[in-house]
Structure 1
Amino acid sequence: MRKYLAFLGDRPALSSLLACVGFSIWSLLLGQDNNWDLRNYHLYNAFAWLNDRVGSDMAPAGMESYFNPLMDLPYYWITRHWSAPAAGLILGAWHGLTFAVLCIIAINVLEQSGYAQPRRLGVALALAGTLTPNFLENMGTSMGDNSVALFSIAALAIIVRSWPRLMTGHATWALAGAGMLAGIACGIKLTNAMYALAFCLSFLFAPLTVVKRLRLVVVFGLAAALGMSLAAGWWWIRLWQTFGNPFFPQFAQWFPNDWSTPVNVADDLGVMRPGLPATQGALRWLPKSAFEYLLWPFVFSIHGRRLGDFTAHPLLWPVTYLLFIALGVVYLKRRGAARQLSPDVRPLSPVAIYMLAFMAIAYVLWMRLFSIYRYTGPIEVLMPLAIWMLLHRLLSQSLARTVAIWTLCLTLFLSNVISQKSWGHEPWAKEAFRVDVPSVQQTGTATVLIMSQPVAWILPWFPKPLAAAAVNANFPADVGYWKDLSALLDKRGGEIYAIVGGDKSWRADKLLRVQKFNAFMETLGATDHAYICDRMKSLVGKVSSQATVVDVAAGASKGERCAVALKPEVDSGEQADIARQLKEANQALNQIGLRLDGATCKTYDAYMGQGYFPYQWCQVARL
């Protein structure tokens, strides 16, 4: 085994190819992506841009209806033209390229820092980077965090590979290329702006004169601005022409618009209130006190839901944070005492200092602006390399190696075991998405109102002339929005419909599991025996509140005496949820002079892979 690992370690290109293949297979094994953002806006945004619906529809996917659709176009096109598993394979391969880029970073940083066997060590640390919880939770998903983070870490790879020449005033085009990639990441997804800024500021730590440092900052910054303009300028122009705000509805306090209340980029947008301004949101993910700001990595590692709607315990963070603090203490102590480094301690090279400065600055910006775990990809994948180098700076070489290996193995293993595994997947079907669409008369004048979120993913399957508008979504709607919605309904003058529900049918999901279990037990012939049936009744009664074991009528199946079935209250509970959603939808419509015609409501089927997401289609009348 060690022989084969050494062989792969000496050949990072081959290891990178195998990583892409491996992550493609992993993505395929995970199944069809069904994350909340995909159901909300990733499909809709690509569809809306391709069919020129920006400005004609009214926020059917909430505020995300106006995010740059560039990131969503490849996935939308692939799933509409190719089989669903092909999309999974391609996503996995793209995400697997992260390993190749990390190899470039690690090998170059280690080599310039004087480590022995930098290729083998770099490949191992790159592998550790792709086994971090944040990377794995986004593997094979369309959420875009892994996909776009690749541009940011590719920018860092170019910088560290060109570092010796940058320090001598050369490699300007390489620096510009890195800036372009960082800018593209920012343009595709605005949250990556903090990484572009961190790259710029980290050049101030380069061992150069102030003028030369500023030159690096300016070249990188201008290139980043160009890359951002190429990736998003066309979209910002479109939003400016339509809404008078290039970032609509974000930064509405600087670019006022009748549709939107004044909100910030990071605001939790509160609650949409039909006919009234939206309630003011709160920055719910940020640290709540000075104490939490000081110990934030420990706080969110212990409390798994402090960084978003995802349970994560990323134990690498407090370890890295402690090592940064220890490095600062050692630096101040040595500086005050004017001591020399111990010969058994490895100093940090300038390129390592740049990388660590980038991580520290990006962390501070992230903590202050967002504190959402998904956005930390470019920081977290570098942590294994950072931990390795910091321990070798603080401890003797022999001790540092042992501590680093055990620390990385334990933190990665425990973090992945106790953290949520993914944002959601379904068993594959040949078609990624299937939607049963109701018959709509005169689609050129009809309007559909979105009463639930996320459900906009089904709109690409509806007739294109049909207009869509949100009544209940995470959009900071002001009074002007409701006036324009009323004007839209009057102008179109046709039938008004409402989409209610659209959540996953957990009853259908449980029923599928029950059917698979019964088929498995029937194959074994286990349910042919009365003793096993009695034991099953006892066990299922203890472990499940929603399932039971029922006797099978004689002759109904091949020798079967019993089978697992769902309790009737599971079905009644789902029906109660639908009734509640219809009632709440009607109350919201009443606030804008409309009512739901409950007698016309009908359930229609929609599928992501084999996951079942039924929705209610109802006619709407004026009061």
Structure 2
Amino acid sequence: MSQSTARPTTLFHVAILLLATTATVLVSLMEGKDFSWDFVNYHLYGPFAVFDPLRLKHDFMAAGPQAYLNPVLHIPLYWMIQYGWPDWLASSSLAALHSLSIWCIYAISSLLIGNANVPGDRRAGLAWAVLASTTALAAPVFLGLAGSSFTDPSGAVLVLASVMTLLKAFRHDDTANVRLVLISGFLFGLALGAKLTHLIYAPAFFISTLVGASRRSLVRALAALSLGCVAGLILIGGYHAANLYREFGNPFFPLFNQYFQSPFYGLDAARTHTRFLPDSAFEYLIRPLRMAQPFTGVYYERKAPDVRLLALCVAIIASVPFLFFRRQAISSRGQKSDQNLATPAVAPFWAFFGASYGCWLVSGANGRYGLCLLLLVGPALVLAVRNWPKLVATTFVGVVLVAQVFLLFTTDNLRWNPIPWSGRWFYKNIDTQELEKPHGYLLFDSNSSSFLFPSLHPGSAYFAVQGQYSAPEIGPVRERLDRFISTWDGNLRVLGSANLAQVTSGDFSSFILGANRALQFQGLVVRTDDCRYSQASVWPIDGPARAQVGRTGVDFVIATCGVVRGSKPSAELTARRARIHQAFGRIQAACPSWFSPAATEPPVQRASQTWFHHYAATDVTLAVGKDAVFLSRYEFGPFDVPLGTLDQWLGSSPPALRCAPLPRHYIDAGWSGSGSSRSR
């Protein structure tokens, strides 16, 4: 290639990449900042804890089980918030970082489609690569996450860079470039160490290598991939894993605890989350069709209709006759091959894509975890139609892209909790007494509000007795709790979310009732004369924008009250809890598929006197009011399905449950596990 030709091509590449970044940043600015549940309850706790080497010893489940995830990808936003960056600038910086995924997609597309060896085809190949990248950019999950506090798009950059490098290693038919395979493994190891959900791509990398490497280089390629992966994993996750192993006996605590058997968490902790998991062979088959439907909870927590994967399936099926007739035409002309048909990297790409799709489906089918796969739909779609008649192919992809853009414009904001820009990510007003000296805080709420912990006294410590994880009454966790209570005796407080209108008027009664319910079996009681609150808001707390306070999700309040030792609960209350625990155990045994991980600890009591247990893997809650037992499923339903009474479950003839698969709200209506149901 001449120098005069290379220069315009380089400028073209740069322009395309800058356009991709600009588009990603602009969409992020239009959507606003995301003040999601995850941000409020654990995204900032990890970086806060990692910079204090003693916090792992002092705290326990301070942000729920997510407190122990590797926080490295959360550090950039944490620093930007701590140093007071404007919210729009912090989000734009993250969006620019996340747009590197589209850069990788463009490079992959150019490698697969832009065949420079075919005379006159290079310019057309670049056009196809641009079209593939644009199709990838239209992925609703990517646009909803770009510029937010979620780390899935950050990890996707590393995974896609690894895919790009691996495919480059197979550019030649004769042998694999082992050095590039090593680099690919290293990049994937970094992604895996930073976020373990990328484990679903591990089989795809090895299968792709098996397909792409020649016989004489296969062993060296697999060894290089493995070595690079281990090196990257240790580099970015080794220190964190070593600390977890030293403290809890599990380097991935609390994940994979059925293998490491740490006494600080249940042994049933690693079950697949079933929120998006297809529940039948038919649902597995039509998942691309389901994803195109405008419903919440199909494969993502928000409405995110995506027609691209369905279009890819149609394109692959339709390509069969195109390829057949093309080969017939080539054969009739006496040609040995068609240079347009494939490059050496195409087969490894399809191997990677197919293996990733299968692993993603069976591991939970969560759109966030499958983000890399959803971005790769862009080049896969263009590659599938690349050998169709040009007009037919461009028309097909154009129609798909227009349809997807239409769905994006007619769908609600893709953020989980979109908030307009207000100057900073959030504003805070912390009670001065929380800052004067350290305290030991006992947490009892599923909403930890841990995004405010960095704003409290840096010497404070946090221990969850109830919430996403309830402390057992015997064993190492109980011993750890007893040490915590003794250490902070005299400076022990309970912390949880509270109602703004109540606490600002001095009414802490609801908060105190809920706290006492949680602490009663710990032999502790709340001091009613020692309560205070702190506040955070997405708007300046004392500014003119306070008129915006009426909007949903803009104010967050935590209350704290002093805690002293008290009497143990009555024998009657203890007996009732044991009775409910026994009934829950029998219900679990009757329908194990509904209740995962299985509860081994007694149920907990809400302020409303309802007893309940939540099963995280299936999003199911069992609850008991006066005597009736009800089942509810988080967010998507069904809600308040009656399962009988305590007396029935503790009797000799418990109710017979159908144990039907838990419903998908976008499929089933009127579902009931026991013959009747109520909805809300």
What's the TM-score bracket when you normalise by the shorter of the two chains?
A: 0.7 to 0.9
Counterpart check, 1:156 vs 2:163:
yes
Partners of 2:352 and 2:296 lie apart in 1 by: 25
Specify the code of the residue in structure 2 equivalent to 1:250.
L
Please tell me whether the aligned partners of residues 9 and 121 of structure 1 are also in contact (alpha carbons under 8 angstroms).
Answer: no
Compute the displacement of 1:340 (Å). Answer: 7.2
Compute the displacement of 1:446 (Å). Answer: 3.4
Compute the displacement of 1:458 (Å). Answer: 0.5
Partners of 1:329 and 1:594 lie apart in 2 by: 74
Please tell me whether the aligned partners of residues 10 and 120 of structure 1 are also in contact (alpha carbons under 8 angstroms).
Answer: no
Residue 172 of structure 1: aligned partner: 178
Counterpart check, 1:351 vs 2:281:
no
Residue 76 of structure 1: aligned partner: 78
Specify the code of the residue in structure 1 equivalent to 2:402.
C
Give deviations 1:426-481, integer Å, cap 9, x for gaps: 33344433332231498456334352414111000111221111133323755432
Partners of 2:383 and 2:75 lie apart in 1 by: 39
Partners of 1:330 and 1:125 lie apart in 2 by: 20
Compute the displacement of 1:347 (Å). Answer: 2.9
Compute the displacement of 1:227 (Å). Answer: 0.8
Specify the code of the residue in structure 1 equivalent to 2:286.
L
| Matched residue SS, 1:176 | helix
Please tell me whether the aligned partners of residues 45 and 67 of structure 1 are also in contact (alpha carbons under 8 angstroms).
Answer: yes
Residue 38 of structure 1: aligned partner: 39
Compute the displacement of 1:47 (Å). Answer: 0.8
State how 1:523-534 maps to structure 2 within 5 Å.
none
Residue 614 of structure 1: aligned partner: 557
Of 358-367 and 411-420, more deviation after overlay is shown by 411-420
Residue 604 of structure 1: aligned partner: 534
| Matched residue SS, 2:522 | coil
| Matched residue SS, 1:253 | helix
State how 1:568-579 maps to structure 2 within 5 Å.
none
How many residue pairs get aligned? The number is: 531
Of 68-77 and 135-144, more deviation after overlay is shown by 68-77
Partners of 2:104 and 2:58 lie apart in 1 by: 41
Residue 462 of structure 2: aligned partner: 468
Residue 310 of structure 2: aligned partner: 318
Specify the code of the residue in structure 2 equivalent to 1:296.
R
Partners of 2:30 and 2:396 lie apart in 1 by: 34
Residue 136 of structure 1: aligned partner: 143
Give deviations 1:199-236, integer Å, cap 9, x for gaps: 22112222733x53343222112211211111101111
Residue 529 of structure 1: aligned partner: none
| Matched residue SS, 1:473 | coil
Please tell me whether the aligned partners of residues 32 and 608 of structure 1 are also in contact (alpha carbons under 8 angstroms).
Answer: no
* Equivalent in 55, 69, 89 of residue 86 of structure 1: 89
* Equivalent in 350, 355, 360 of residue 361 of structure 1: 355
Relative to structure 1, is the Cα distance of residues 170 and 320 closer, same or farther in structure 2, using a 3 angstrom cutoff? closer
Partners of 2:213 and 2:322 lie apart in 1 by: 20
Partners of 2:154 and 2:251 lie apart in 1 by: 24
- Structure number with higher helix proportion: 1
Give deviations 1:484-522, integer Å, cap 9, x for gaps: 21331023322322222268x7xxxxxxxxxxxxxxxxx
Relative to structure 1, is the Cα distance of residues 613 and 359 closer, same or farther in structure 2, using a 3 angstrom cutoff? same
Compute the displacement of 1:125 (Å). Answer: 2.0
Please tell me whether the aligned partners of residues 600 and 618 of structure 1 are also in contact (alpha carbons under 8 angstroms).
Answer: yes
Counterpart check, 1:406 vs 2:406:
no
Residue 227 of structure 2: aligned partner: 222
* Equivalent in 277, 282, 285 of residue 291 of structure 1: 282
Specify the code of the residue in structure 1 equivalent to 2:285.
L
Relative to structure 1, is the Cα distance of residues 442 and 612 closer, same or farther in structure 2, using a 3 angstrom cutoff? closer
Counterpart check, 1:385 vs 2:360:
no
| Matched residue SS, 1:143 | coil
Compute the displacement of 1:599 (Å). Answer: 5.3
Q: Percent identity?
A: 24
Compute the displacement of 1:373 (Å). Answer: 1.1
Residue 389 of structure 2: aligned partner: 396
Residue 659 of structure 2: aligned partner: none
Counterpart check, 1:590 vs 2:520:
yes
Residue 99 of structure 2: aligned partner: 96
Give deviations 1:545-593, integer Å, cap 9, x for gaps: xxxxxxxxxxxxxxxxxxxxxxxxxx79x99x99766544332222322
Specify the code of the residue in structure 2 equivalent to 1:408.
L
Relative to structure 1, is the Cα distance of residues 440 and 97 closer, same or farther in structure 2, using a 3 angstrom cutoff? closer
Relative to structure 1, is the Cα distance of residues 619 and 39 closer, same or farther in structure 2, using a 3 angstrom cutoff? same
Partners of 1:307 and 1:169 lie apart in 2 by: 39
Residue 427 of structure 2: aligned partner: 434
Compute the displacement of 1:72 (Å). Answer: 1.5
Partners of 1:408 and 1:294 lie apart in 2 by: 23
Specify the code of the residue in structure 2 equivalent to 1:486.
D
Partners of 2:490 and 2:224 lie apart in 1 by: 56
Relative to structure 1, is the Cα distance of residues 213 and 149 closer, same or farther in structure 2, using a 3 angstrom cutoff? same
Please tell me whether the aligned partners of residues 345 and 397 of structure 1 are also in contact (alpha carbons under 8 angstroms).
Answer: no
* Equivalent in 124, 129, 139 of residue 131 of structure 2: 124
Partners of 1:329 and 1:373 lie apart in 2 by: 32
* Equivalent in 205, 214, 235 of residue 199 of structure 1: 205
Partners of 2:332 and 2:522 lie apart in 1 by: 74
Residue 501 of structure 1: aligned partner: 497
Partners of 1:452 and 1:477 lie apart in 2 by: 13
Partners of 1:258 and 1:434 lie apart in 2 by: 39
Please tell me whether the aligned partners of residues 176 and 214 of structure 2 are also in contact (alpha carbons under 8 angstroms).
Answer: no
Unmatched 5+ residue regions in structure 2?
1-7, 541-553, 567-680
Specify the code of the residue in structure 2 equivalent to 1:99.
I
Relative to structure 1, is the Cα distance of residues 222 and 419 closer, same or farther in structure 2, using a 3 angstrom cutoff? farther
State how 1:106-125 maps to structure 2 within 5 Å.
106-112=109-115, 115-116=121-122, 117-125=124-132
Relative to structure 1, is the Cα distance of residues 370 and 164 closer, same or farther in structure 2, using a 3 angstrom cutoff? same
Please tell me whether the aligned partners of residues 601 and 619 of structure 1 are also in contact (alpha carbons under 8 angstroms).
Answer: yes
Instruction: Return the structure number with greater relative CO, CA threshold 8 A, min gap 6.
Output: 1
Please tell me whether the aligned partners of residues 201 and 217 of structure 1 are also in contact (alpha carbons under 8 angstroms).
Answer: no
| Matched residue SS, 1:311 | coil
Please tell me whether the aligned partners of residues 45 and 63 of structure 2 are also in contact (alpha carbons under 8 angstroms).
Answer: yes
Residue 605 of structure 2: aligned partner: none
Give deviations 1:344-399, integer Å, cap 9, x for gaps: 99634331222122111111111111211111111111212211221234x43432
Partners of 1:342 and 1:448 lie apart in 2 by: 79
Specify the code of the residue in structure 2 equivalent to 1:102.
I
| Matched residue SS, 2:114 | helix
Residue 372 of structure 1: aligned partner: 366
Please tell me whether the aligned partners of residues 450 and 468 of structure 1 are also in contact (alpha carbons under 8 angstroms).
Answer: no
Partners of 1:206 and 1:8 lie apart in 2 by: 28
Using the size of structure 1 for normalisation, the TM-score is 0.77
State how 1:412-427 maps to structure 2 within 5 Å.
412-415=405-408, 417-418=410-411, 420-427=413-420
| Matched residue SS, 1:373 | coil
| Matched residue SS, 1:39 | helix
| Matched residue SS, 2:235 | helix
Please tell me whether the aligned partners of residues 598 and 618 of structure 1 are also in contact (alpha carbons under 8 angstroms).
Answer: yes
Give deviations 1:148-177, integer Å, cap 9, x for gaps: 100111112223334324x43353222211
Partners of 1:389 and 1:374 lie apart in 2 by: 24
Relative to structure 1, is the Cα distance of residues 161 and 103 closer, same or farther in structure 2, using a 3 angstrom cutoff? same
Please tell me whether the aligned partners of residues 106 and 122 of structure 1 are also in contact (alpha carbons under 8 angstroms).
Answer: yes
State how 1:506-525 maps to structure 2 within 5 Å.
none
| Matched residue SS, 1:390 | helix
Residue 193 of structure 2: aligned partner: 187
Partners of 2:457 and 2:440 lie apart in 1 by: 10
Please tell me whether the aligned partners of residues 134 and 378 of structure 2 are also in contact (alpha carbons under 8 angstroms).
Answer: no
| Matched residue SS, 2:305 | coil
Residue 66 of structure 1: aligned partner: 68
Partners of 2:448 and 2:290 lie apart in 1 by: 30
